[in-house]
Amino acid sequence: MRRPPDTTRPSMPPPPPPLDFRRMALQDLERVMEIERDGFAHPWSMDLLRREMVHDWSTILVATATRRGPAGSPSEVIAGFVVYWLVHDELHVLNIATAVEERRRGVGRALMDEAAARARKAGAVLATLEVRRSNAAALALYRDLGYRQVGIRPNYYADEGEDAIVMVMDL
């Protein structure tokens, strides 16, 4: 006898749409702030993001996807962003966030891959980042990308007194 399909099991999210990458523009600031506020208990300020936009060594890279609006017309949406510095031969990732509706679809991985590819092209040979000790999902992603733990910064996240795991990856 055949059993009916199991409808209690959560369905897998659809595969991620093709993503495009570009530097953040001033008109993207509100959406990036929305993603930032949704992603962090202590989000960066709008002023801090604005300042990162003007430093020569800093890049805020957004991942965009094309979506159909209610009327069926296509429009670009920002699915996530990464903030990184490129100083001499080093890529340093400062912040990364994915829109709530895009999580678990590969956007964060794609942003990290794109940042690393751009850094390699610019001559970087090493990537570094800090991540909260409690952020198991991010730690798993970074390890899967090839980052390895090289140290701990005690009480790095001062608001909670949480340690940061320092990670590096050869590019």
| pLDDT tens digits, 78-95 | 999 999 999 999 999 999
Model-level pTM? 0.86
Predicted confidence band of residue 77 (pLDDT cuts 50, 70, 90): very high
pLDDT tens, 57-75?
Answer: 999 999 999 877 777 788 8
Predicted confidence band of residue 4 (pLDDT cuts 50, 70, 90): low
* Residue 56, pLDDT above cutoff 70: yes
Fold of 20-170: Aminopeptidase (3.40.630)
CA dihedral (103, 106, 108, 110) positive or negative: negative
Return mean pLDDT, the chain. Answer: 90
For 74-130, give the DSSP string: EEEEEEEEEEEEEETTEEEEEEEEE-GGGTTTTHHHHHHHHHHHHHHHTT--EEEEE
Helices 107-121 and 136-145: crossing angle in degrees, nearest 10, is 40
Please tell me the predicted confidence (pLDDT) of residue 75: 82
Which of 12-16, 121-125, 127-131, 143-147 has the least mean pLDDT?
Answer: 12-16
* Residue 11, pLDDT above cutoff 90: no
Please tell me the predicted confidence (pLDDT) of residue 145: 97
